[in-house]
């Protein structure tokens, strides 16, 4: 997919105030750690994540998506009536029905002629939304579009801790599928895309490439389909080692196709941003893509894995800090 008329016009993001360290999670896991004689510091050592953040209790994803969306609109200086599509792309939603995008659309005061829907695709939701909106702009169907999402880590992390402490029959090997759940953090991000004809930045979105290795769909699975507003208590079962290996292989096969589509070489890339899973994943992915780790900006060590908002929010933070 090659784009000639699409600009990434502005970002908006919202970070939680509550910081939860890996050391604090291990204190909450004291019954499990004592029973299995696990060494303290294991969680940070395995993941490279020293902290993650939680939104305040009672917060709905839509609350923060509205805040992030408003920031992006104000940063772009765009007439909100020109926004022709709103996609809410996070795993977390207010309710199963209606679409969380419906509430966000209403509270942002967007046009009634705006296309409104949720996209659910695990950690790819916001990136999928960006591609959908970019395609619509490139086709001339809309002038601008907003992609937004908010991930709520507290229910997953706290439910995982309670389950691990309660299940006294688990061995060291049996707790491995739950470790990935303890890396999750909260965050919210919005990305506003615009047609070059109305763009004030000319920050081009050049290309996208996709591959689907869906034979690995069972490597990370959560529980039943629950929404935050209905007391979500999810659990995830993740084969972390194999998921990392297969994900990196998929990325390595996709990247040459992306370079060809963008008409770029590796040497032309001045800065990179990975999906923020863990420091080992980041190192191995950059090695597989043959990219310089010194040119990569990371937030995973202090924000954890924030799911679908991880990559765009990391990019937004880097822009705020003048990295790009």
Question: If you ran DSSP here, which 8-state letter would residue 228 be given?
Answer: G
Handedness of CA 204, 145, 88, 64 (dihedral sign): positive
Whether the Cβ atoms of residue 308 and residue 89 lie closer than 8 Å to each other? yes
CA distance linking residue 264 with residue 260, whole number of Å: 7
DSSP string, 271-283: -B----S-HHHHH
Torsion of CA 215, 221, 224, 228, to 10 degrees: -120
Residues carrying an active site annotation: 97, 123
* Contact of 6 with 137, CB cutoff 8 Å: yes
From CA 148, how far away is CA 91, in angstroms rounded? 11
CA 139, CA 109: separation in Å to the nearest integer?
A: 25
């Amino acid at each position: 997919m090659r784009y000639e008329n699409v600009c990434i016009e502005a970002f908006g993001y919202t970070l939680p105030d509550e910081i939860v360290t890996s050391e604090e999670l291990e204190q909450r896991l004291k019954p499990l750690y004592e029973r299995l004689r696990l060494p303290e510091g294991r969680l940070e050592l395995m993941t490279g994540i020293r902290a993650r953040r939680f939104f305040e209790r009672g917060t709905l994803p839509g609350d923060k998506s509205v805040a992030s969306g408003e920031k992006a609109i104000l940063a772009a200086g765009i007439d909100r009536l020109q926004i022709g599509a709103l996609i809410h792309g996070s795993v977390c939603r207010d309710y199963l029905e209606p679409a969380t995008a419906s509430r966000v659309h209403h509270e942002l005061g967007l046009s009634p002629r705006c296309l409104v829907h949720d996209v659910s695709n695990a950690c790819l939701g916001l990136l999928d939304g960006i591609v959908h909106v970019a395609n619509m702009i490139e086709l001339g169907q809309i002038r601008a579009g907003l992609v937004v999402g908010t991930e709520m880590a507290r229910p997953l992390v706290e439910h995982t801790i309670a389950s691990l402490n309660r299940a006294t029959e688990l061995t060291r090997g049996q707790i491995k599928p739950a470790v990935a759940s303890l890396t999750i953090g909260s965050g919210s991000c919005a990305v506003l895309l615009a047609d070059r004809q109305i763009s004030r930045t000319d920050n081009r979105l050049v290309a996208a490439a996709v591959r689907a290795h869906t034979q690995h769909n069972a490597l990370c699975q959560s529980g039943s389909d629950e929404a935050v507003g209905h007391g979500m208590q999810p659990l995830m079962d993740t084969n972390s080692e194999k998921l990392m290996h297969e994900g990196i292989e998929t990325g390595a096969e996709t990247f040459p196709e992306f370079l060809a589509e963008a008409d770029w070489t590796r040497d032309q890339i001045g800065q990179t941003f990975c999906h923020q899973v863990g420091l080992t994943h980041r190192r191995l992915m950059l090695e597989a893509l043959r990219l310089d780790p010194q040119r990569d900006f990371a937030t995973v060590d202090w924000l954890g894995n924030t799911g679908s908002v991880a990559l765009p929010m990391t990019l937004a933070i880097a822009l705020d800090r003048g990295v790009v």
